[in-house]
Copies of this chain bind each other. A is one copy, B any other.
């Protein structure tokens, strides 16, 4: 069982390496979105400092979302999704493996470059560690929730934009808790509550996502 999941993760990671490496592209998108902000809000250090954490998190959300589209879409188009449904591996396992592959290939690299962007955005020094920690705790929830959205829209023609409409509201709790936790550290406030809430939300999404996504795929097949 575990072996099957591992097999799927390896395949998905390999696919994300081929053809111009979608990983590089997610990272570049992340960097570009963040660098647009100094142009958009003006170069004042004070404002940048205040919004830095939020902007980095929003950019991470958007980048992670951007690569969701391909999580099931290409499998659907070439008929592989049907074969996954028919295969002896339970569909819940298949989608879970795909979520993990998505996190590894799109969120993990974001976490690695986030400190660089912190420098660009004038993030206060005490903010780096909380930024990384909240990203580690929060980004899996993005893959899980986003995965539900991807599975809901996969069978729709051009579901891409609908996808964002469905999942962005669900991303908001992650954003709120992550930013609250990181800011609490920066301001020296108590932080455990927020961290627990953030982790709780991630665990909760991990618990429901495989079932919801598998159900959505089964419902969407035609």
Contact = CB atoms under 8 A, between A and B. Distances in A.
Contacts of A66: 160-161, 164
A139 B160 CA distance: 21
Interface residues of A, number: 47
Contacts of A62: 33, 62
Contact of A168 (B29, B37, B171): B29
A161 B67 contact: yes
Contacts of A160: 66, 69-70
Interface stretch (A51-59, A130-138, A203-211, A214-222): A51-59
Contacts of A175: 36, 39-40
A156 interface: yes
A20 B168 CA distance: 18
A-B complex: 8 closest residue pairs judged by Cβ atoms: A40-B54, A25-B161, A41-B54, A32-B168, A41-B51, A28-B165, A40-B58, A29-B164
Interface of A: 19-20, 22, 25-26, 28-29, 32-33, 36-37, 39-42, 47, 50-51, 53-55, 57-58, 61-62, 66-67, 69-70, 74, 77, 156-158, 160-162, 164-165, 168-169, 171-172, 175-176, 179, 183
12 contacts: A19-B156, A19-B157, A22-B161, A29-B165, A32-B169, A36-B168, A37-B58, A40-B51, A40-B54, A40-B55, A42-B179, A62-B62
